[in-house]
Chains A and B, each alone.
Chain A
Amino acid sequence: MDTILEIEELEMSYQTIKGFVSAVDNVSFKIMKGESMGLVGESGCGKTSLGMCIMKLLPENARIMNGKILFDGEDIVPKTEEEMRKIRWKGVSMIFQAAMNALNPVYRVGDQIIEAIQTHDNISKEEAREKVEKLYELVGLSPERMKNYPHEYSGGMRQRAIIAMALACDPKFIIADEPTTALDVIVQDQIIDEIVNLQKKLNMTMMYISHDISVIAETCNKIGVMYAGNIVEYTYTSTLFDNPLHPYTKALMSSFPSIEGPKKELKPVPGEPPNLLNPPEGCRFYPRCSYAEEICKKENPEFVEIEKDHFLACHKVI
């Protein structure tokens, strides 16, 4: 199997008035072709920042301090903006949240997708239009809708159009950043089904970012659990659900209801995520961890493969 994306010891910080905030710290993982990786964590844990690192779409005050992002075997960290421009959308594309203003309100939706295609592929406007028509059918939209403006779409339709846009240049890798947040539950399910179907049909490689572990479980075959800038556990979905090892993963699972399993009381993860401006020394989770010991306060555990394809960062379990 080919590796599409490999991240090695990535560290990214935001420069603020009060100092550096490390939003992504010492993150390493691999995604193989055809795999779908779910990235789950509380809001503010750095999952969106990690996604933006992969596209190198960072705000001005953000810096990649350390590490490598190997996309298709090439490190993109040292690449210039112009080189990145060619990788974006053609190499890595992104499914944005429809609730965000991701579509420009003053242009027709179809034209915005055609624009993306024509930027990367040297084809005529007519050919691009035909391609968008096919994409519209693929995501379950009527091609006639291409000539409408974003405000004339419903939330669900807009999300479908955004998915169509992400597929426009046949990218090798797609990042979906909370694509179903702020949609109502029924539409949410439809969109998730659509993504799962497309993933199978097109054999897409993707990374699905969400705070909702149940959505991730439905859509992804691997899960990375992120906490305060670190990935603390990374393995196959089935393995993770059968045998969650990290205390945070366990806490996260118990805070979501399961329809099939026995009825159990829902427990929110107690405590607050740490302030990343002055992250606690040692394991970042120890203040909230019920298993914490002396060593957890002093040393940050290493991220190691404790069994095949099961990575973990925790002193207790190792």
Chain B
Amino acid sequence: MKKKKWKLIRQIWDLIRGSTFIKLGVSIIIIFGIMAVFSPIWVNRNPEIYDPIIGVDPDVHGSEGPSLKHPLGTDYIGKDLFSQLLRGSQIAFILGIMVSVLSTTIGTIVGLVAGYYGRIVDIILMRLADIILTLPRLPLLIVISGIFGTQSNWIILLILSFTFWPTISRVIRSQTLSLRERPFIESAKVSGVGNRRIILRHLAPNVLPITFYYLTVTVTGAILVEAGLSFLGFGDPSNMSWGMMLKWCFTTGYVFKAPYWMIPPGLCISALAFSFYLIGVGLEEIVNPRLKKR
């Protein structure tokens, strides 16, 4: 039994290694991971100058281009753009992954429960999902964060997860519906296995590939939406995310004068979003080999 399990893991590993998409995605993520880890090292050398929020270089007046001291230059009041970029990658990772984990977990559980119990439970949960799906996401987020007044990353985390789970739960539900009719579930039911055990032991492992797929692509969605919110001015002001860097560049009138300021944050957002999506596409090809060349 144990041997069999190892063989399976081995096979999955081989499939992952064989996917160009996944390899490329993981490589990009590693680069950003290094940036996130490097962030405190860069800042702690001299927080008064390099802190992304409060540090200001007294020798610099206005935005200046790249130099040895500031590899990416400074913003309009002399803050180091490189340390902002490093901090941004921390925020993107933390927020993206947390939103993804939270919403995929909720989505999977809701989908399993709705699909397995059916009837009224299914109707209520799926109508709720429908309603949230019909609400236009970004305007909804804008309105909610506007209503809460002061923004914090925790609130952004919660409201992002709130809008991301319904998509996942719909897919998991339809998968559960077809699994429910399979003989092995029937036989588990007949032999008196409890509902919770059936869901956890028999259904959940079978929907896991879909969950993994959504785990990665939701990170992409979360990163892009968070960046969008920050760009529009609804981000957490106590932190410097990439979206906010671009926002300051855009609103302080440096957008066309300071390409060293304008290009890096947008490129980072796009590249990190891209890399998680690539992994998703790679997983999709493994789970659904029809998409590959025959």
Contacts and interface: CB of A to CB of B under 8 A. Distances in A.
A and B directly contacting (CB within 8 A): yes
Interface of A: 59-61
Chain B residues touching A, majority SS: loop
Nearest to A60: B294
A59 to B, nearest CB: 6
Interface in B31-66: none
A59 B294 CA distance: 8
The 4 A-B pairs of least Cβ separation, nearest first, read: A60-B294, A59-B294, A61-B294, A60-B293
A61 B292 CA distance: 13
Nearest to A61: B294
Interface of B: 293-294
B15 to A, nearest CB: 12
Contacts of B293: 60
A25 to B, nearest CB: 22
A65 B294 CA distance: 19
A60 to B, nearest CB: 5
A4 to B, nearest CB: 32
Nearest to B294: A60
A8 to B, nearest CB: 29
A60 B292 CA distance: 13
Nearest to A59: B294
Contacts of B294: 59-61
B292 to A, nearest CB: 12
4 contacts: A59-B294, A60-B293, A60-B294, A61-B294
Nearest to B293: A60
Contacts of A59: 294
A61 B293 CA distance: 10
A314 to B, nearest CB: 37
B20 to A, nearest CB: 16
A60 B293 CA distance: 9
B91 to A, nearest CB: 43
B103 to A, nearest CB: 35
Contacts of A60: 293-294
A60 B294 CA distance: 7
B14 to A, nearest CB: 11
A59 B293 CA distance: 11
Contacts of A61: 294
A205 B203 CA distance: 52
A62 to B, nearest CB: 10
A58 to B, nearest CB: 11
B50 to A, nearest CB: 53
B290 to A, nearest CB: 13
A124 B294 CA distance: 39
A251 to B, nearest CB: 32
B293 to A, nearest CB: 8
B8 to A, nearest CB: 18
B11 to A, nearest CB: 13
B6 to A, nearest CB: 22
A227 to B, nearest CB: 27
